[in-house]
A and B are shown apart, each in its own frame.
Chain A
């Protein structure tokens, strides 16, 4: 007969692993419950109950949401083409032996803590970009986004977006690189055999094949940019409100940066207001990453 004397150990161990999984579910559940219950007082708050507000919660939160999305989208617009370029360079242009090293060089960017990027943004990037901004306002100022007067410090929303773009480059690059690597070799060689130049081969095979991969990588990068706090907090000199101009000293703030700046001195209902904006941020990033996952799923099924 089979000896079943060890079954107790089995029950204990499987119970333990189940408990760990349950803890994970519980923690995530409590995050949701906490954020929601702590947010509820904020939605009915006004200028008398919370000193942060001028009128209603929404009048306070919507400009922050605008700033968050605006700076992230700007970062994405800059980061995606460069990332695709890097991924192509590493997979199709660089000498094979160098490719691995170049790849890990880009990954190195991901290892730099965000507070260091913030420091670099304030001390190096903003002063370096300021003359460029002044030139842009002078010569292309008729373009609505580049309207003056130019910021004297260079700490504008565009500078913050540049820092964010640098920070999300590695994640977008590494994902698109993976996708490009898996382009069917036969299609590539077929295109070349038909007489296509290297670039034509890429536009005919690699890019169409990698389209959904690029899309989901961009979504993940966007999610990362939306939640990024320190770089924006340190680089951007925010005045609040909604403005599209990129180079002036009037800059919208972002949800995350606003929490980091205001929370240390916040009290009572102000805390609820800030937590409610945090909940909003969570909802937006969740939505973005859900879309990314959906794309990945369709990609793997097809």
Chain B
């Protein structure tokens, strides 16, 4: 009969390693569970109607809401998307369809550099641009949007490029062979085929920037009032709202903490929804290259 020849020490080592690896996974899940549990349990405190219908104008203690922050986040994010999506997608089209290899590798390198810009540096840049034009101390919603666009462009370029490359060569050649000009081939053939993937990339990009705090703190500032105009005055946003509630706590402290946790819960829900929708679109309308 075959004797089990694995020595005790080797068996022990294997067992210890297996335990350690499983433990590593648990260690990582622990903070995740803790973050989500605390945010949900403490975030429920202020999920009332006032929270979603009031700004913080004139509020010194309890009460108040996040309406101004939600409006600010929507406007700033929308502006960032309007700036970054056309630039990002068209750059990706250039990379895939038109560029020569040398230009392509140079631009890919620059996109890599851009994705490495720390978010606070993007905020400093956006602030400096508007301070130079409109005088020092200028903080605007649009400056925040510029900073966020800077952070979002690399994500859009990369994901769109990847999706465009997945479109089979046969499709392009078929369209060109039928006499379609190249622009029509790209616009009516290549981009629609890759659209699901491109939209997913954009949504994941939005999910990334919508939680950004530092650049908005620098470039858009913070305020307690409503502001619907990106080009005038400071603008509040959800992440900055969470930060200011904690860092500038007044009396009573629990009112500020409750508002911070509830706003954090709203923020997490928005980010999760964006991720979920993005993934669903990828699943149902994704580029079908392997059919």
A residues with a Cβ closer than 8 A to B are 3, 6-7, 9-10, 12-14, 16-21, 23-25, 27-28, 30-31, 34-35, 38, 81-86, 88-90, 93-94, 102, 105-106, 108-109, 111-120, 122-125, 166, 169, 173, 195, 197-200, 202, 223, 226-230, 233-234, 256, 259-260, 263-264, 267-268, 271, 274-275, 278-279, 281-282, 285-286, 289, 293
Do A260 and B35 form a contact, CB below 8 Å, given A200-B14, A289-B112? no
Do A113 and B87 form a contact, CB below 8 Å, given A17-B94, A24-B110, A230-B243? no
Specify which of A83, A114, A200, A226 is in contact with B213 (CB 8 Å cutoff): A114
A285 → B minimal CB distance (Å): 5
Specify which of A18, A260, A267 is in contact with B217 (CB 8 Å cutoff): A260
Given A112-B268, A120-B35, A256-B214; 7 other pairs, CB 8 A cutoff? A85-B27, A113-B264, A114-B212, A115-B239, A233-B243, A264-B218, A275-B128
**Bound Cα distance A230, B131 (Å):** 23
**Bound Cα distance A116, B185 (Å):** 45
| CB of B49 closer than 8 Å to a CB of A | no
A35 (CB) vs chain B CBs: closest residue: B125
The 10 closest A-B pairs by CB, nearest first: A85-B24, A113-B211, A227-B118, A20-B90, A13-B183, A17-B94, A6-B181, A229-B214, A199-B17, A197-B14
A122 touching B246, Cβ below 8 Å: yes
Do A111 and B6 form a contact, CB below 8 Å, given A31-B150, A229-B214, A260-B217? no
| CB of B277 closer than 8 Å to a CB of A | no
A198 → B minimal CB distance (Å): 6
B271 touching A113, Cβ below 8 Å: yes
Specify which of A105, A195, A200 is in contact with B29 (CB 8 Å cutoff): A105
B149 (CB) vs chain A CBs: closest residue: A27
B18 touching A199, Cβ below 8 Å: yes
Q: Write the B14-36 contact mask toward A (1 if CB under 8 angstroms, else 0).
A: 10011011111101110110110
List the A side residues contacting B27 at CB < 8 Å. 82, 85
B202 → A minimal CB distance (Å): 15
A165 → B minimal CB distance (Å): 9
Do A259 and B124 form a contact, CB below 8 Å, given A109-B32, A116-B242? yes
A241 → B minimal CB distance (Å): 21
Q: List 7 A-B contacts (CB under 8 A).
A: A25-B110, A34-B125, A85-B20, A105-B29, A112-B32, A112-B268, A169-B28
A281 (CB) vs chain B CBs: closest residue: B118
**Bound Cα distance A262, B271 (Å):** 28
A81 → B minimal CB distance (Å): 7
Total inter-chain residue pairs, C-beta < 8 Å? 262
A18 touching B98, Cβ below 8 Å: yes
Specify which of B10, B28, B131 is in contact with A200 (CB 8 Å cutoff): B10
**Bound Cα distance A88, B207 (Å):** 28
Specify which of A9, A14, A233, A234 is in contact with B184 (CB 8 Å cutoff): A9
List the B side residues contacting A25 at CB < 8 Å. 107, 110
B150 touching A6, Cβ below 8 Å: no
Specify which of B32, B91, B119 is in contact with A227 (CB 8 Å cutoff): B119
**Bound Cα distance A289, B118 (Å):** 12
A116 touching B214, Cβ below 8 Å: no
B110 touching A195, Cβ below 8 Å: no
**Bound Cα distance A285, B211 (Å):** 21
Specify which of A89, A114, A125, A278 is in contact with B211 (CB 8 Å cutoff): A114
Do A88 and B90 form a contact, CB below 8 Å, given A115-B243, A116-B39, A234-B246? no
| CB of B187 closer than 8 Å to a CB of A | yes
Specify which of A21, A122, A268 is in contact with B99 (CB 8 Å cutoff): A21
List the A side residues contacting B166 at CB < 8 Å. none
A6 touching B24, Cβ below 8 Å: no
**Bound Cα distance A269, B157 (Å):** 36
**Bound Cα distance A115, B112 (Å):** 25
B28 touching A109, Cβ below 8 Å: yes
List the B side residues contacting A123 at CB < 8 Å. 38, 42, 257
Specify which of B24, B32, B91, B112 is in contact with A293 (CB 8 Å cutoff): B112
List the A side residues contacting B129 at CB < 8 Å. 30, 34
**Bound Cα distance A31, B10 (Å):** 56
| CB of B5 closer than 8 Å to a CB of A | yes
**Bound Cα distance A38, B157 (Å):** 29
List the B side residues contacting A17 at CB < 8 Å. 90-91, 93-94, 97-98
| CB of B153 closer than 8 Å to a CB of A | yes
B6 → A minimal CB distance (Å): 6
List the B side residues contacting A227 at CB < 8 Å. 117-121
List the B side residues contacting A28 at CB < 8 Å. 110, 113-114
B218 touching A260, Cβ below 8 Å: yes
A82 (CB) vs chain B CBs: closest residue: B24
B207 (CB) vs chain A CBs: closest residue: A111
List the A side residues contacting B131 at CB < 8 Å. 271
A166 touching B31, Cβ below 8 Å: yes
B116 touching A223, Cβ below 8 Å: yes
A62 → B minimal CB distance (Å): 18
| Residue of A6, A19, A197 contacting most chain B CB atoms (<10 Å) | A197
| CB of B272 closer than 8 Å to a CB of A | yes
Specify which of A117, A122, A289 is in contact with B35 (CB 8 Å cutoff): A117
B268 touching A86, Cβ below 8 Å: no
B130 → A minimal CB distance (Å): 11
| CB of B260 closer than 8 Å to a CB of A | yes
